[in-house]
A and B are shown apart, each in its own frame.
Chain A
Amino acid sequence: MSPPRRVAYNPLRSWSGFGGCAGGLSASGSEARKYLRLLAGCKTGIPRLGNAVPEPFHLFLLPKMAAIEILGLEKTYAVGFWRKQQKCALKPLQLSVEEGEIFGFLGPNGAGKTTTLKLLMGLARPTAGSARILGMEMDDPRVKAQIGFLPEQPYFYDYLTARELLTYYAHLSSVPASEISRKVSAMLERVGLADAPDVQLRKFSKGMLQRVGIAQAILHDPKVVFLDEPMSGLDPMGRREVRDLIEQLKRDGKTVFFSTHILSDAETLCDRVAILHLGQLRNVGVVSELTAGVRGKVELAWHGTMVPAEMKSLGAKCHESGDTVRAVLPEEKQDAALEVLRRERLRLISVTPLRASLEDYFVQQVKPVEATVGARA
């Protein structure tokens, strides 16, 4: 067995036979956490390996270094004319993002997503806490060369053309001068702006501006890309293109951290998500795990036009179309509903479980807090 390399060595991939821990093949956070817990529990040795790997080496077997580690970042603003009142935009945030994953940062408007991104970019100073990106402190100047940022509703120097803008940014990012024009052309090609490189940005549509924004974020080949609402204001075609681009970034091995309030995008794209609300982190995890806890619904369809009275009492929403009735009701009422249908001698066509969406989970998380906040206000 080759000795493990210190960095980028993923034991989960190489030791697939490691009992229940290493079942997952992707380096997703929850798997890693399970693994770590196990590792903490069996410190004296690793089963199966016996003495083949001496004890300190198991430190090398830790999963990949986190691309982003947020350690208690907090931001409070002083508002009002005399700067007396405190407004807390972000409560202490603890979060970590693995390398190579697409991480979604969700939350309603005003949750603190943009604040977090501004703190990470060094555009605002945190009231407390710190963060590490690629192992370096966030205000280390070397970090900036490895990251790309697309702000929310970006606006660029509108007197420049797309090519000039990207060239300017390439210069600022210390891309070697000889490679700049080649990279810029390649980037314009990649984001689909190859036919409008010399048009002034003031004439660009919103979708085109967004594409330029993504281009400038990935131009210098950063390892981590931060996107703030990358799909806002785009039409479905544009959203599709951005989605494809993000997936492509992941395939290239980059880490993507993006914030959005469009949950369906997050659902399809992200490996993991974090939900932020009123400046506080509500939950973090893989989408499927988060939605697993949400009570699902089931759809029953039967022939005929009759809707038994008991259906309503079971909380079903019924909908007739042609000679079929469809009813959606909570899944725990499924058996009771089937019993009703059997009694009424209605012919069942189908029973379909409806997967809980992230939106359901989200609403479930956010609603109780909104209610209490509303009650307090």
Chain B
Amino acid sequence: MNASRRITLTASLLLVFFMAASILIVHRIEVLRSGTALEEVLYISSPRLLKRLGLGYDGLLADIYWTRTVQYFGTKHRAGATSYKLLAPLLEITTALDPQLIVAYEFGGNFLAPRPPYGAGMPQKAIALVERGIQNNPDEWRLYYQLGFIRYMDLNDYAGAARAFLDGSRVPHAHPWLKVLAAQMAQHAGEWETARMLWSTTYSTANDPAIRANAAAHIRALQADRDVIVLEILVAKYQKANGHPPKKLSDLVAAGILRGVPLDPLGHPYRLGQDGHVEVQSPDDLPFIQKGLPPGYVPPVRPKILPSD
């Protein structure tokens, strides 16, 4: 048994050593290839050819490309990227392989259209993507919703948005809000309430965690904006009543104008800045807000819009 046992021992030790080494090397390769691996999607000029080459397994390939898309966006976002040049080709390939993958169109609507660093900044491509989706899925109300959303948010095309929402409301099993949104476009386009309606609809109807997190961030921002506007009106009222601006927001409470210092959507109380403006405590945690920012505020390179943030 002696020789045999020696061989067994040597082989076992070598096995463990090689396994550890292989894992380490894979790590290094990952780091090296993290940027370049997906670049080959730029060379797939014809996604339909890819579909044919998939030999009928396009469903699986679509899933693989979808996973790659989510992975790509998440990794780029975490690295603080300012451009997402592969997002459009990835989404185009994914939807070409599986035209019924609705979430891919929704992802495009939410992250392809907005300008960087919140998205890839390609609204036209996003529109083209969603329109192709509608061609392939004419009865899917979410796609009409997405189309209207992009037109409203990123292109300010309120009439076009209204048309999309209206078309969508006519589809069987459409979400009841679509009719309301269509009407809203006509009267109250550009208003705070409309934006809040849209983002709430997105939040409640989407399933993808990234889309929901993004929508939640928008809703919080909208709430904060509204709160700041109201608070600043109250501050002006105080100024008018007392001749000088309040030092702290609790002065307003003392004066009976406020019942209590209100909390922002994150649970922190609002503050009064030096120049009399109301500010939020941690603007980094509230991307998208337009009011309540301290003077000279520079937003972080990596806005906190995804669940991993």
Q: Which residues of A does B touch, CB under 8 Å?
A: 139, 141
Contact = CB atoms under 8 A, between A and B. Distances in A.
Complex A-B, nearest 4 residue pairs according to Cβ-Cβ distance, in ascending order:
A141-B3, A139-B1, A139-B4, A139-B3
Interface in B1-39: 1, 3-4
A84 B1 CA distance: 26
Contacts of B4: 139
Nearest to B4: A139
Nearest to A140: B3
A139 B4 CA distance: 9
4 contacts: A139-B1, A139-B3, A139-B4, A141-B3
Contacts of A139: 1, 3-4
Contacts of B3: 139, 141
Interface in B85-123: none
Interface of B: 1, 3-4
Contacts of A141: 3
A86 B74 CA distance: 57
A148 B1 CA distance: 21
A139 B3 CA distance: 8
B26 to A, nearest CB: 36
Contacts of B1: 139
Nearest to B2: A139
Nearest to B3: A141
A241 to B, nearest CB: 38
A140 to B, nearest CB: 8
A139 B1 CA distance: 7
A141 B2 CA distance: 10
B4 to A, nearest CB: 7
Nearest to A141: B3
Nearest to B1: A139
A224 to B, nearest CB: 20
B9 to A, nearest CB: 16
A141 B4 CA distance: 10
A139 B5 CA distance: 11
A141 B1 CA distance: 11
B71 to A, nearest CB: 42
A144 to B, nearest CB: 11
A236 to B, nearest CB: 44
B37 to A, nearest CB: 44
Nearest to A122: B4
B235 to A, nearest CB: 80
A32 B100 CA distance: 90
B1 to A, nearest CB: 7
A339 B8 CA distance: 76
A128 to B, nearest CB: 13
A141 B6 CA distance: 13
B8 to A, nearest CB: 12
A138 to B, nearest CB: 11
A141 B3 CA distance: 8
A254 B3 CA distance: 28
A81 B173 CA distance: 55
A249 to B, nearest CB: 29
B206 to A, nearest CB: 50
A132 to B, nearest CB: 14
A211 B4 CA distance: 33
A71 to B, nearest CB: 15
A139 B6 CA distance: 13
A335 B1 CA distance: 62
